[in-house]
């Protein structure tokens, strides 16, 4: 079950692709839909393509689409689990493609989708392919030859089951006991037989050994005025993030404040963050419960800005920085996190077509328009979505004046809501992936 139709354009830049805690792999395919050789599979045990255009890093993939060899027509994204939610993120943290697979108990590996060339650029298309035979069966379908261990004496092996494509159901050859780790796949060269006496092993897993550790491991999070350098795999450096929207006047302008940490903590903004509405961005690595709650002048908790169990969560919203004291926020989590306070003018712009996952603050400067909202619900089913529209002309705070609740529903929807002309701040609150299409009405 995906939420982006096939033939969705993506920018030809370096994308980071992940699926939460699901281990991912990439298969680089030629015009015939098959790998050209052993090196065209990139995963944890073989973390880099010879061209350098595709790499495996910390349970995610890095695809430099502008550097992919001309002979490669498609890049298939696979996962070592029966389901999950895949997302592709551009260097500016924009989510350019997502796809959700609900999973079944008959599959232990899936193909999420593929990036493919068209008209000189790249598109993404979601796929629904499940493999009961795990990653070994999956990669075989694309031309990878998988070496199998010799069966123990006195034991017979049943043939591996083939491809499961919905709605076909395959007779089980053996019980599926769980996802097959990508590192367990041992390959042999496609155009040469295995050497006598054994199989050719995968290269040593050196790709993960050079990855920097958690950014919060070198100091304590929440230290006012001395933010710890963020992990670039979570957020790009500040210099590439700090881009103000010209002509946007709602909220103060200041140098962004960044802090990282692990587990639960309280952060306090420095004096350079003035009073008024500010953009708050957060990223939480891994799974488990994660929440962000503002603290009032009595140091008591208010209404949560974020409250989620989505793995590898990223979100943004706008919150007021008080006049008489610093902004203080309690972060409740189990893993590494990065938080940023930035001017509202640095938020993501509403574009004619865009996609994302979870909560997001968006800036609208266009004319009156119809906004088409496609929401598939949360990965576990259900889920809700809401959209607040704040007209900001003449406003200095988020008040009830000019505020409209344009959408508030649950479950899967495909709905159009009217938008007033900008400038306006859109606060999207969602429990799963979404896509937006803007159609200006012309008056």
- Shared domain for 145 and 285, answered yes or no, is no
Burial 98-132 (b: 16+ CB within 10 A, else e): bbbbebbeebbbbbbbbbbbeeeebbbbbbbbbbb
Residues 310 and 362 in one domain: no
Say whether both 153 and 81 belong to one domain.
yes
pLDDT exceeds 70 at position 162: no
Q: At 281, which helix (H) or strand (E)?
A: strand 276-284
Looking up residue 368, the CATH number of its domain turns out to be 2.60.120.1050
Q: Among 181, 209, 237, where does a domain finish?
A: 209
Mean pLDDT, residues 336-351 taken together: 93
Instruction: Answer whether residue 179 is part of any domain.
Output: yes
From 294, 313, 346, the end of a domain falls on 346
Q: 336 with 366, same domain?
A: no
pLDDT value at 157 more than 50: no
Can you give the pLDDT at residue 374?
92
Q: Which residue has the higher pLDDT, 361 or 174?
A: 361
pLDDT of residue 147: 55
313 and 174 fall within a common domain: no
**Distance (Å, whole) CA 269 – CA 267:** 7
Tell me, what's the pLDDT at 377? 79
| Inside any domain, residue 2 | no
Digit-coded pLDDT (tens) for 14-47: 898 988 778 889 999 998 888 988 889 998 888 9
How high does pLDDT run on average in the chain?
76
For residue 132, the enclosing domain spans: 8-209
Q: Are residues 296 and 426 in the same domain?
A: no
| Cβ–Cβ under 8 Å, residues 438 and 355 | no
Dist. CA 42–CA 44, nearest whole Å: 7
Looking at the structure, tell me whether residues 236 and 310 fall in a common domain.
Answer: yes
Please indicate, yes or no, whether residues 275 and 384 belong to a single structural domain of this protein: no
Judge whether 63 lies within some domain: yes
Same domain, 230 and 205: no
Domain count, the chain: 3
Strands 348-349, 360-364: pairing kind: parallel
Give the CA angle between residues 327, 333, 334 to the nearest 5°.
150
**What does the pLDDT read at residue 156?**
35
Residues 172 and 220 in one domain: no
Query: Does residue 156 sit within a domain?
Result: yes
Q: Which residues contact 319 (CB under 8 A, 6 or more apart)?
A: 277, 278, 280, 294, 305, 327
pLDDT value of residue 99: 83
Same domain membership, residue 233 and residue 336: yes
Domain CATH number, residue 320: 2.60.120.380
pLDDT value at residue 442: 72
Domain boundary among the residues 156, 188, 209 is at 209
Does 112 or 1 have the greater pLDDT score?
Answer: 112
Beta carbons within 10 angstroms of residue 50's beta carbon: 10
Q: Check pLDDT > 80 for residue 242.
A: no
Partnered with residue 196 across adjacent β-strands are: none
Backbone angles phi, psi at 25, to 5 degrees: -140, 160
| Residue 3 maps to a domain | no
Instruction: Give the model's pLDDT for residue 232.
Output: 46
d(CA 266, CA 328): 7
Q: What is the pLDDT of residues 51-110, one digit of tens each?
A: 989 999 877 899 999 999 999 999 999 887 766 778 888 877 778 888 877 666 677 788
Strands 306-308 and 353-357: unpaired
Q: What is the pTM of this model?
A: 0.52
| CATH code for the domain of 167 | 2.60.60.30
Report how far residue 111's alpha carbon sits from residue 25's, in angstroms, rounded to the nearest whole number: 9
Higher-pLDDT residue of 321, 312: 321
Report strand pairing: 24-29 vs 41-42. Answer: antiparallel
pLDDT in tens, 95-152: 888 887 766 667 778 888 899 998 888 999 888 788 877 777 788 888 887 655 444 3
398 in a structural domain: yes
Asked if residue 254 is part of any domain, the answer here is yes
CA–CA separation, 323 and 327 (whole Å): 9
Range with the lowest mean pLDDT among 234-243, 277-286, 301-310, 351-360?
234-243
Identify whether residues 38 and 113 lie together within a single domain.
yes
Cβ atoms of residues 109 and 27 within 8 Å: no
Residue 1 counted as domain residue: no
């Amino acid at each position: 079950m995906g939420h982006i139709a096939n033939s969705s354009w993506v920018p030809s830049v370096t994308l980071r692709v992940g699926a939460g805690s699901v281990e991912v792999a990439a298969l680089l395919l030629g015009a015939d839909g098959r790998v050209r050789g052993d090196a065209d599979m990139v995963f944890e045990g073989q973390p880099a393509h010879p061209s350098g255009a595709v790499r495996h890093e910390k349970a995610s993939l890095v695809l430099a689409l502008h550097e992919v060899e001309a002979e490669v027509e498609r890049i298939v994204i696979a996962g070592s689990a029966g389901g999950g939610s895949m997302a592709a993120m551009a260097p500016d943290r924009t989510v350019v493609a997502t796809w959700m697979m609900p999973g079944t108990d008959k599959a232990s590996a899936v193909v999420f989708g593929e990036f493919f060339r068209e008209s000189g650029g790249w598109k993404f298309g979601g796929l629904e392919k499940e493999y009961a035979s795990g990653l070994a069966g999956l990669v075989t379908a694309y031309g990878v030859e998988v070496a199998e261990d010799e069966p123990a004496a006195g034991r017979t092996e049943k043939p591996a089951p083939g491809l499961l494509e919905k709605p076909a159901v395959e007779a089980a050859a053996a019980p599926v006991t769980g996802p097959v780790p990508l590192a367990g796949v041992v390959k042999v060269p496609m155009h040469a037989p295995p050497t006598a006496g054994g199989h050719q092993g995968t290269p040593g897993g050196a790709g993960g050994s050079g990855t920097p550790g958690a950014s919060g491991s070198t100091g304590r999070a929440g230290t006012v005025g001395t933010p710890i350098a963020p992990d670039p795999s979570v957020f790009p450096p500040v210099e590439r993030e700090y881009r103000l929207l010209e002509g946007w006047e709602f909220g103060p302008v200041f140098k962004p404040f960044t802090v990282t940490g692990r587990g639960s903590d309280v952060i306090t903004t420095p004096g350079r963050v003035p009073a008024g509405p500010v953009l708050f961005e957060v990223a939480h690595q891994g799974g488990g419960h994660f929440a962000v709650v503002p603290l009032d002048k009595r140091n008591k908790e208010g209404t949560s800005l974020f409250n989620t169990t989505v793995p590898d969560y990223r979100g943004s919203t706008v919150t007021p920085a008080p006049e008489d004291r610093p902004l203080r926020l309690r972060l409740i989590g189990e893993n590494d996190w990065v938080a940023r306070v930035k001017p509202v003018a640095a938020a993501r712009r509403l574009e004619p077509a865009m996609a994302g996952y979870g909560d997001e603050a968006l800036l609208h400067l266009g004319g009156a328009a119809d906004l088409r909202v496609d929401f598939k619900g949360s990965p576990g089913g259900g889920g809700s979505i809401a959209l607040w529209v704040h007209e900001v002309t003449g406003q200095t705070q988020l008040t009830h004046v000019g505020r409209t609740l344009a959408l508030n529903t649950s479950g899967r929807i495909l709905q159009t809501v009217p938008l007033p002309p900008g400038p306006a701040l859109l606060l999207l609150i969602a429990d799963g992936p979404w896509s937006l299409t803007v159609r200006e009405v012309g008056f």
